[in-house]
Amino acid sequence: MLEQLLIFTRGGLILWTCKELGNALKGSPIDTLIRSCLLEERSGAASYNYDAPGASYTLKWTFHNELGLVFVAVYQRILHLLYVDDLLALVRREFSEIYDPKRTAYNDFDEIFRQLRMEAEARAEELKKSKQMVKPVNNGKKQGQQAQKVGFDKGNKKQGNLAADGGDDDKGKGRKLGNGHSNGNNFESEEPRMTAVVNGKENTSSNVSAFDVTKLQKRTKSGKKTDTVVNKGSKVDPKKKVTKKNRVWDDAPTETKLDFTDPVDGNENQEVVAASQGESMMDMEEIIGSDSESEEDDDLQKDSKPEAKKKGWFSSMFQSIAGKANLEKEDLEPALKALKDRLMTKNVAEEIAEKLCESVAASLEGKKLASFTRVSSTVQAAMEEALVRILTPRRSIDILRDVHAAKEQRKPYVVVFVGVNGVGKSTNLAKVAYWLLQHNVSVMMAACDTFRSGAVEQLRTHARRLQIPIFEKGYEKDPAIVAKEAIQEATRNGSDVVLVDTAGRMQDNEPLMRALSKLIYLNNPDLVLFVGEALVGNDAVDQLSKFNQKLADLSTSSNPRLIDGILLTKFDTIDDKVGAALSMVYISGAPVMFVGCGQSYTDLKKLNVKSIVKTLLK
């Protein structure tokens, strides 16, 4: 049963809701749809699933872009209503005829909706009955295909495809097959051949394309010895877990653990390098040049030249002056295809580029093209708006304000750095620490990478250069416990921020992902930063989606913590291939909070959304 159907404007004004339905929806599916789908340029999807305590809904929607209206239907996911798409199309057509921008109440639409709903349900029932009538015929054909050894059925295209030597139908009598034999009316000669094709592994009496069984017997005889060897060697007691043991030399004491961490006291007398390298790029304003605009205009002119050749000069000029009645999907496809290819050359993941183009097409379809404008420029402007909307953070990313708020509550602000191997977590952690020190914030580092050799020494070097304290416990320790003790130590010492360094891990490594989930659950950090390379393309989608999925699945909390922000590294090595930023933000919904663009402590800056968008569309 349909739970709710409502009509509202793109500005958020609700024009009409179905009073007959009037079911109280559990949770807030409409708000979630607007926030997570429509505003995030995911409106090209067919439906949206919403899970609430005690209910699971499916939402479907359609737009009237010319009038700026949105039509949304909500129903229980388990029902699989077939008439919802048809009903939305009927409601859209009828409501657009009576719509007046000055009106806010449409009580007269109740009776119209009742008739439309009955009509849509009747169509769905007829379609269901027609499918049930056709179904036994199809099943009979399939059974006949399996039962027949001959394999030839007149008018059956499916069986013709199965035969590699060529099928036969009513029109094909007298033709020659691929092997040179004639397929006249004598079907009996082809019977064993088709049996082998249809039945797959079944052996037949045919000499043509038959399988030699004697070869298989020889192979099994020769393979018996290897099987016995494997079986003898595979007798291992499952209860006893095999572990690697340290080598014990003669007349030498046994060593329990190998921990080569340098003692902390030994580095106190070393010379400290000056930490001040100037002002961090985080506090500098980036100036965007105007060269990109001229290049953009040149590209638009190049894109419009083939269109001018296809259409006549007079018709294209008349259309640009008068404007097109309504944009259709066929009009948008060439410009969207060119835009998708351009985004993919900028290192945007193919899946993300396709979804963005579908969303832009959904927002432009049915809209009237203004005078003196081209389709390509209209599509480009819509894509630019969509990209700015996606990359602009939806919440505050002012870390300094959050640090001062935590300081008033007399607790440290905890930031956990996570990511895959070799992306630069420790280096960029030091850059963030340097930026915080410039704003008179006391920082402590926590060396929770107890897995990689040299990780503690690397972080200790950064701490010595920046002259900030570091909390470490060496290797082979539980990182969750180390982080907890570091936060307790920072609370006692009055440190404002704790920067937690974790081990690099691949998104498919479940033991390490479980340890990371435990660290986040046990310490409840204020910010979880995903550190990712700007060099990745399609792998960015896989990394972020699986990181979020593993953190959600492996957490013992009912409300698990996911990734809150993104730190992009190696941004100075990609030239104009800035698509990884878009892919990561689109797939996770988390904003890019920092951008690493060099190897010194000052090479950390904010993401300039306008610059990224212009580079993507250049």
- 210 with 204: CB under 8 angstroms? yes
Task: Please state, in angstroms and rounded to a whole number, the distance separating the CA atoms of residues 515 and 449.
Answer: 11
Report the topology of domain 2-125.
Answer: Beta-Lactamase (3.30.450)
Residue 285: predicted pLDDT: 63
Residue at token pair 């919802």: 84
Residue 193: predicted pLDDT: 41
In the DSSP assignment, the letter for residue 36 is I
pLDDT digits (tens, 9 = 90+) for 575-584: 888 888 999 9
Which residue ranges of the chain lie beneath pLDDT 50? 137-211, 213, 215-236, 266-270, 273-274, 289-314, 316-322
Q: CA–CA distance from 108 to each of 94, 98, 335, 353, 562 (Å)?
A: 12, 10, 41, 42, 47
Residue 216: predicted pLDDT: 46
Is the pTM higher than 0.95? The answer reads: no
Token representation of residue 577: 């291939």
Residue 275: predicted pLDDT: 55
Residue 142: predicted pLDDT: 46
Residue 29: predicted pLDDT: 86
Residue 243: predicted pLDDT: 65
Token representation of residue 514: 């479980």
* Boundaries of every domain in the chain: 2-125, 329-391, 399-617
In CATH, the number for domain 399-617 is 3.40.50.300
Task: Please state, in angstroms and rounded to a whole number, the distance separating the CA atoms of residues 267 and 456.
Answer: 13
Q: What are phi and psi of 52, to 5 degrees?
A: -125, 160
Token representation of residue 403: 């640090």
In the DSSP assignment, the letter for residue 74 is E
Torsion angle defined by CA atoms of residues 297, 303, 309 and 310, in that order, rounded to the nearest 10 degrees: -130
Residue 467: predicted pLDDT: 94
pLDDT digits (tens, 9 = 90+) for 346-384: 989 888 999 999 989 888 888 887 777 788 888 999 999
Element (DSSP H or E) covering residue 55: strand 55-64
DSSP string for residues in 474-524: -SSS-HHHHHHHHHHHHHHHT-SEEEEE-----TT-HHHHHHHHHHHHHH-
Of residues 329, 330, 334, the one with CA closest to residue 365:
329
- For residue 61, give the amino acid letter: W
